[in-house]
Structure formats: C-alpha cells, structure tokens
Chain A
Amino acid sequence: MLNKPDLLGVLSLMGKARGDLVSRTAHESPDLFRNFFEFENNFDMLNLAFEREFNLWIDKHFEMFDKYFNDSDSHHINDSFKKLMVELVESRVIRTSTTNDLASKDFCISLLSEKVSILNKFIEVSQNSEKQYQRLLYSYQRDKTLFDREFKNLMEE
C-alpha cells in the first residue's frame, strides 16, 4: 500500500501528464498541429500521427517519474507506477487492435507491446536507476525513429 505522500506524488504525476496532453492542443503545439494540416487528406498518416502522440505522452510519464522520483527507493511507488502505465498502454493495445482503419496497426501494436515489456522491467529501476534511465532514453529515441520510418514507408506506398 502506498503511503500518503507517495500516493499524492503518483496522482500528481498523472495529473501533470494529463495537463501536458491538453496543453499541447490548447497551446497549438507546432509539431502536433503541423500533422493536423499536413495529413488532413491522408487518414492513414493522421492515425499514425495520433499513435505517435500517444506514445510520446506515455514517454512523458516516464520522464516525469524519473524527474520526481529519481531519489525514491520505494518499491511501492515503482510497482504502483508500473501497474498504472501497463494498464494505460494495454488499454491502447486493445483499442488499436479493434481499430479497422489503421494502416500501420501491426507496427503500432508491436511498439505498444514493446512498451509493456519495458514497463514490466521497470520495477528494477530502484536497483539500477542509471542503467534503466539509459534504457528509457534509448526507448524514446527508438520510438521516434521508428515512427519517422513508418511515416516514410506510408508516404512511399
């Protein structure tokens, strides 16, 4: 069971991540809005852009977790955060699996599944924070590159 400060910390992190999600639209974030215009006639590309945005949002949670709980050695926080993230990503996997008009469905599901796998290892963060952090940085970069590659593939089709 999480103690009060830890529970408040995790709830606050989730709240900030929700705020960030809304803020990118409310403040007309250029990289997001560019997609809206660039792909307004190509819904395959647009859907892929939405999937990328969701992935970036998940990564944002990790970034925040690392920032706020880097010094924490609480097993409960890691466990609780991991559980929330797994549920969040898995709900997206279910949603993506049942979407019929997503051209890059397999790609998106494989990327999300990979995230679940990283999340399942995340519990080790307290034991080897630096190593895990490097793994997360690598994961962010890899996701971005894989999305760019998938965008290129779709464009060429």
Chain B
Amino acid sequence: MQDLQKMIQEAVKNSGAEESISSELANKLEKELSDFVTLNSLKAKLSVLFEYEKNYLELVKEFKEEIKFASGIQEDLRKERAKFFSETLKEVSSTLTESQVENKVASQWLKELVDSYTKSLDLSGGLIEEHTLDMIGTIRDKAKSQKNSVEIASQKTDA
C-alpha cells in the first residue's frame, strides 16, 4: 500500500497539478484505488471460496447415498444395542427365573451372555466405523484434489 501511495503522489506531481490541491488529489485517488484493489481481491477470494463450496456440495451430493447408508447401519446397531439392554435381557432373565434356574447360576449366565453379545456388537461397530472412515477418506481426498484444481484455476485467472 505504501508503494501505491508513492506512485500516486509521483503521478500527481508529474501531472502538473497545482501544489495546493495535489495533496488532496493524491489522497482521494489513493482511497479510490485502494477500495478498488481491496474489492477485487475480495472478489477473487470469494470466487475461490464459492467454487470450493460448490465442489464440496457436489461431493456431498455424489456421496449422499453412501452417507445415508453408513448412518443407517450405525443407527441399526445403536438400536439393537439399546433393545438388548432394555428388552432382550429382561426377557431372557424372566425365562431363567420362570424355569427356576438357581439365582447365582442365572446371574453368572447373564454376565456371560452380556459379555459375548456386547463384544459381537462392538466388533460389528468397528467394521462399520472402518467402512465409514474409508468413505470419509475418499471424500477428503476428492475434496483436496478439487481444492487444488480450484486454486490453480484461480491463480491462472489472476495471471
């Protein structure tokens, strides 16, 4: 900005303008030009941001079904876990009580059941998580390569 100020003052001086108005003229010109440059730079930045957001939205659209799928299977597993603790376990416990299985045996067996069942749920959850992370990685890679291409395109336009 200091270079711009010097250039304007030099130009005003060389134009032969009267000394009494040259300072005011230089200030006005500097303000106008500065606003113009700032606006243009802002426009360029916004354009890059807009392109990036546009591409990102396109990516989200492209992966919409994948995202829905991943979130659906995660939800199913969460529901199964909740149902196991809120309903299934009670039903199983009732069967043990109704069959008159001794209390200590019943409680030890329920512990076994919870251990095996939750371990299996955890492993299924891990498999889903692995799938989701792979998908997020693919989206990120695509977003990154598109971001780079937007930046290159913007640099070419500036040049």
The reply to whether B128 and A53 contact each other, CB–CB distance below 8 Å, is no
The reply to whether B109 and A36 contact each other, CB–CB distance below 8 Å, is yes
Q: Which of A1-25 contact B (CB under 8 A)?
A: 1-2, 4, 7-8, 10-11, 14-15, 17-18, 21-22, 25
> Quick one: closest B residue to A2, CB to CB?
B131
B36 at the interface (CB under 8 A from A): no
Complex CA distance for A39 and B101, rounded to whole angstroms: 11
- With A1-B131, A11-B127, A18-B120 known to touch, is A26 a contact of B112 (CB < 8 Å)? no
- With A8-B73, A22-B88, A22-B113 known to touch, is A80 a contact of B127 (CB < 8 Å)? yes
> Quick one: closest B residue to A51, CB to CB?
B112
Number of A-B contacts (CB under 8 A): 83
Interface centre among A7, A18, A26, A46 (most CB of B within 10 A): A18
- Residue contacts A-B, CB under 8 angstroms, 25 given: A1-B134, A2-B127, A2-B131, A4-B69, A11-B124, A14-B120, A17-B120, A18-B117, A18-B120, A21-B116, A21-B120, A22-B88, A22-B92, A22-B117, A25-B95, A25-B109, A26-B92, A28-B99, A39-B105, A40-B105, A46-B105, A50-B109, A50-B112, A80-B127, A91-B119
Interface residues in chain A, defined as those with a beta carbon under 8 Å from any beta carbon in chain B = 1-2, 4, 7-8, 10-11, 14-15, 17-18, 21-22, 25-28, 33, 36-37, 39-40, 46, 50, 53-54, 57, 80, 84, 87-88, 91, 95
